[in-house]
Structure 1
Amino acid sequence: MTVSLSDAQLPPVDPTRPAWPGAEETIGGVRLHVRRTPGHGDVPAVYVHGLGGSATNWTDLADQLSGHAPGLAVDLPGFGRSTPPDGYDYTLRAHVDTLVKVLGGLDGRPVHLLGNSMGGAICLLAAAAAPELVRTLTLISPAVPDLRPDPRRLSDPRLALAMLPLLGKRVRRSLAAITPRERTRQMLELCFADPSQVPEQRVAEAEAEYAERAEQAWANPALEGSTIGLIRSWLVVGPRSIWRAAPRITAPTLVIWGTRDRLMSVRKAPRTARAIPNARLLVLPDVGHVAQMERPATVARAVLSLWRSAAGDRW
């Protein structure tokens, strides 16, 4: 079905806006680093980043939506500035359980839940597991099962060797030695349709974040463990699979995909939207894997249409 775009007045996109302030918080018994966006409205928005990302991936979209909902962007355990608890195993299920606890700790209010990439898969499973906690669901290039062997999905060709039993350890050491500037370049080329259009401040922020991660002992294990956990989740069949969970979602849902997404093929978009009972699909031309960063105003207008329709119990 067609997705309408809200005509609400939105602030101009400001590429110089710094990341929203953050702090460690305990919500639902979970200790995470959280960035909060001030906003109006009774229903909070909760933003969940993807693999290798952080709460800063939502700076611009949260700004666009701040006039309509207070925001809460989380750093998942082992990402951003969230120190993982002892024994955290980085499976997709562990991330889902963490998110459900956080949602349950928000005064019992159902939220507008938004996720990108791995965060989209986490949000999908959380919405299926705890439908009473989710008012609406927005999935941006969610990491649904996609096992196609495509070298374009790798930011570095050596990643394919990094998981091998003997050679992998040496390859991982080599990958760890990549400079923050080079990591940033790889990320931009992999995630954005046109990296040259990314504002200089956002590039500098990404480079600073990679430099910060280089000093975190848990950053690489978190990335490796979550990558393995995500791929293993794609192999799960039966009631715990992502495709079997999708039909249990009751929240009105918006699925957004870019036609130039190198990581998650846009060919998965129609199946994803069909699998969720009350979902609509928005495909954006000339957009890559992180539509909320590449086209924050367009995404915001689609999200506001979802929110307003849900408030009237129609979507």
Structure 2
Amino acid sequence: MSSTESPEAAVLTTAPVPPSGARAGDGETVREVTLPGLTLTLRSRTGTGGDPAVFVHGLGGSSTNWSALMRLLDDRLACEAVDLPGFGYSPPPDDGDYSVSGHARAVLRLLEADGRGPVHLFGNSLGGAVATKIAAARPDLVRTLTLVSPALPEIPPQRSALPTGLFGLPGIPALVARATRDWDAQRRTRELVALCYGQPDEVSEADFAEHAGEYERRLALPYFWDALSRSTRGVVDAYTLGGQQSLWRQAERVLAPTLLVYGRQDRLVSFRMAARASRAFRDSRLLALTDSGHVAMMEHPVLVARAVRELLDDTAYDGTAYTDGGPK
């Protein structure tokens, strides 16, 4: 996944203003970075923090999924969340590659082009698989790793995750689009919240309205279904890889101190995978949240931020590598 392009050659343009229609939350800035064949939208929150941190969302998500957590960490970290190609406000990649490796290359190219490594790397779901691949392939670019319900192979998957996996099959997205064409944004959002949140009834009216508005905007994009279905297929394909390409094998190669966050109410990534992940990542710690679903950084940002701070406090940086300075 490494790139031979120099930072100067890789970054063509960086827009200091948000792309059309993109809104920056309180204390945030939004910018575009254009690379050859790729344009990424980035949501930043610098606060008073120092070390750079990059946040990668999950399947169907966007950079806004990390806003609540970044707000709680910006005194310690210079936070920047990326919209993966085809999601949020990032357009599709020119090569149409929505595989896990394709998304990982996009984030890696961003890290190399901006020259901001090593970073504290965060990933949720699909973003967790992406972050794992990057940390395994380029340990020089990752200081610590925080994974929230990472999409690591679970075979067989739990039953509640099967419909999502089937979405990656040819023809299924078109069937779903036809079957749900009369659904309004509120109904679509209710279904999504019920799938992703452990306690969906606790989502505030303001957050629900924001989710619904974003869902409606993205549904109107001509590439919405294509990006979602191809990225889903990419996750399914990654689950089937063996040997050195296996995500579990790559997890074993990660050197960075790792925080694993799992929710007991997760309907997409089974909580039983937490034990296997704890064994696979050689320098790991686990935060298990009883009432959380698939997006703990949105459901319980205070608890996740506290665990991240403990990881930062317990990990000493000597200028070349992080070493664990506290108990696991």
TM-score range, shorter chain: 0.7 to 0.9
Instruction: After superposition, give the CA deviation of every residue in 1:178-203 in whole Å (9 maximum; x if it has no partner).
Output: 32211210111011111111122111
Gaps spanning 5+ residues in structure 2: where?
Answer: 1-24, 318-322
What is the DSSP-based 3-state SS (H/G/I as helix, E as strand, rest coil) of the residue aligned with 1:90?
coil
CA-to-aligned-CA distance 1:108-163 (integer Å, 9 cap, x gap): 43101011111111101111011100010000000011233544236xx6x67656
Give the SS at the match of 1:87: coil
Amino acid at match of 1:229: G
Question: Tell me, which stretches of 5 or more residues in structure 1 are unaligned?
Answer: 1-16
Distance 2:287 2:71 in 1: 21
Structure 1 residue aligned with 2:306, among 301, 305, 313?
A: 301
Provide the secondary structure at the position in 2 that maps to 1:281. Answer: strand
Q: How many pairs were matched up?
A: 296
- Residue 269 of structure 2 aligns with an amino acid whose one-letter code is M
Shift of 1:172: 3.7
Give secondary structure in 2 for the equivalent of 1:44.
strand
Alignment partner of 1:33 is 2:38 = no
Q: Pick the aligned partner of 2:93 from 71, 82, 85.
A: 85
2:128 aligned residue (107, 117, 120): 120
Inter-partner Cα distance in structure 1 for 2:286 and 2:267: 18
Q: What is the CA-CA distance between 1:166 and the residue it aligns to?
A: 6.3
Distance in 1 (alpha carbons) for counterparts of 2:310 and 2:172: 50
SS in structure 1 of the partner of residue 98 of structure 2:
coil
Q: Distance in 1 between matches of 2:185 and 2:199?
A: 20
Query: Percent of aligned positions with the same letter in both sequences?
Result: 43
User: Contact (CA 8 Å) 1:161, 1:168: kept in 2 or not?
Assistant: no
State the one-letter code of the partner of 2:151: A
Cα shift at 1:285? 1.0
2:106 is matched with 98
Rate the CA distance shift 1:107–1:149 in 2: closer, same or farther, 3 A: closer
Q: Highest relative contact order (Cα 8 Å, sep 6+), 1 or 2?
A: 1
Write the deviation string for residues 75-99 of structure 1: whole angstroms up to 9, x where unpaired.
Answer: 0000011001222220111011111
Distance 2:210 2:121 in 1: 25
Instruction: Give yes or no for contact 1:43–1:111 (8 Å, CA) kept in 2.
Output: yes
Structure 1 stretch 168-177 or stretch 132-141: which is displaced more? 168-177
**Which of 62, 70, 86 in structure 1 is aligned with 2:78?**
70
- CA apart distance, 1:45: 1.2
Q: Give the superposed CA RMSD.
A: 2.2
Q: Which moved more, 1:211-220 or 1:262-271?
A: 211-220
- The question of whether the paired residues in 1 share the 8 Å contact of 2:70 and 2:79 is answered with yes
* Aligned match of 1:4: none
Q: Is the 8 A contact 2:37 2:93 kept in 1?
A: no
Moved more, 161-170 or 84-93: 161-170
Match status 1:50 vs 2:55: no
Residue pair 1:29, 1:105 contacting (<8 A) in 2 also: no
